[in-house]
Structure 1
């Protein structure tokens, strides 16, 4: 965005009037928020400089910084060091936590470009946790598939999945790059997951997760643990995942239990 564009935006953002009992920063924040909601500032557009906003609103730099800080906290805008302040992408609502179709399937339904990058494929022996979650013995061989999923080219989700090898023989040798796991096991093995239990907790990105998701170490993530079963109740899939939520929200639908 050029200087003239920033000048025009600052001019449009100038509030027409305000309630004197409200803090100045709140009116600056509201004016900028209105431009974003109306689409006059699009996703990833750069905001005018602090100096330009001070001039147009007739306020101090402290007031502008507080308004911008509030918008950053609400994830309406984001800052890039040395580059400026930009409008955040509007969050998508994701339903995959409450369904069995999985992250990539839910996004495919919304016609979003999802890419899958294989991090690891092969057979492994189960850990004690895998045995407990899948209800298997320690001598059962598992097929492991670790993947990085991206949306619109942005890394979003690291998932580490295992399935009993006797249920999906040869899965580790199938071409899985940019292919849906659930579609593949449905076509190749006739397996359809109809039920999933999931546990969710707030975690921080470690060095490996941060590098893969292209975020700073310590960034907030959702840690997810899941067990998927087929129509007979047989446990088919166990996965752990780290999910970056800065560009999306998770949607749940709940109802009262039958009495």
Structure 2
């Protein structure tokens, strides 16, 4: 069913086949089909309309702010082809607020990396990241073409625990607007993010600029009691 959506056989807004038809098509029980539909609804690939049926969602990219995942990992789960274009890669003295967030001494430097993140060759996110040189002395241009979190966890062996995120609606700067190919006057969402290891060391500060007409944010709230 997921492949039908990804390959475009089930179009956006289309009502999916009945459960009976899906059972026959996939030679599956009704319980299995219902669970599959629920899973695809949870992944925002399908949505239900009470009293009407189940439909294929718009193909906007969904970002769950309650899940700490890198862009490459998140898009991989959606079977999307990703690419990173590095706009800036430099070592520099950190601005005062970065020095404070990363708890750096006055003589410590940071890597600053601006990356344009693309999905299916469509620019979706501009990412500005600051990483302490002391933690990642071997960081390179080539590494940042791939997954930052893969490098941190698998190559460096650090354990990432959590991040603090703040979401802000803003008007983009001209440079951000040009990178994301935005129409003039279109607002975007900016996420300010600081992440830490299990020992509570803050290892990154990142500002993410999301293309709002291609990207949506999802929040799953639970009620206790």
TM-score (norm 2): 0.70
- Point out the more displaced range, 183-192 or 222-231: 183-192
Which of 109, 115, 123 pairs up with 1:147? 115
- Point out the more displaced range, 191-200 or 174-183: 174-183
Which of 130, 140, 154 pairs up with 2:98? 130
Q: Which runs of 4+ in 1 moved over 3 A?
A: 254-257
Q: Does 1:93 align with 2:62?
A: yes
Which of 131, 134, 147 pairs up with 1:166? 134
Q: Cα deviation per residue 1:54-102 (whole Å; 9 max; x = unaligned)?
A: xxxxxxxxxxxxxxxxxxxxxxxxxxxxxxxxxx95323222x222222
Say whether the 8 Å CA contact 1:227–1:238 is kept in structure 2: yes
1:223 counterpart residue number: 190
Q: Does 1:37 align with 2:37?
A: no
Say whether the 8 Å CA contact 1:193–1:230 is kept in structure 2: yes
What is the aligned residue count? 174
1:103 counterpart residue number: 71
TM-score (norm 1): 0.61
Q: Does 1:238 align with 2:214?
A: no
User: What does 1:195-206 correspond to in 2, within 5 Å?
Assistant: 195-206=162-173
Give the whole-Å Cα distance in 2 for the aligned partners of 1:174 and 1:209. 21
- Choose between structure 1 and 2: higher helix proportion: 1
Say whether the 8 Å CA contact 1:114–1:150 is kept in structure 2: yes
Say whether the 8 Å CA contact 1:221–1:243 is kept in structure 2: yes
TM-aligned CA deviation for residue 135 of structure 1: 2.2
TM-aligned CA deviation for residue 253 of structure 1: 2.4
1:51 counterpart residue number: none
Closer, same or farther: CA 161–177 of 1 in aligned 2, 3 Å: closer
Higher relative contact order (CA 8 A, sep 6+): 2
2:183 is paired with a residue of what secondary structure?
Answer: coil
1:120 is paired with a residue of what secondary structure?
Answer: strand
User: What does 1:47-86 correspond to in 2, within 5 Å?
Assistant: none
TM-aligned CA deviation for residue 152 of structure 1: 1.2
Gaps of 5+ in 2: 1-10, 16-56
1:130 is paired with a residue of what secondary structure?
Answer: helix
Give the whole-Å Cα distance in 2 for the aligned partners of 1:147 and 1:92. 18
Closer, same or farther: CA 36–150 of 1 in aligned 2, 3 Å: closer
Give the whole-Å Cα distance in 1 for the aligned partners of 2:102 and 2:185. 30
User: Pairwise CA RMSD of aligned residues?
Assistant: 2.4
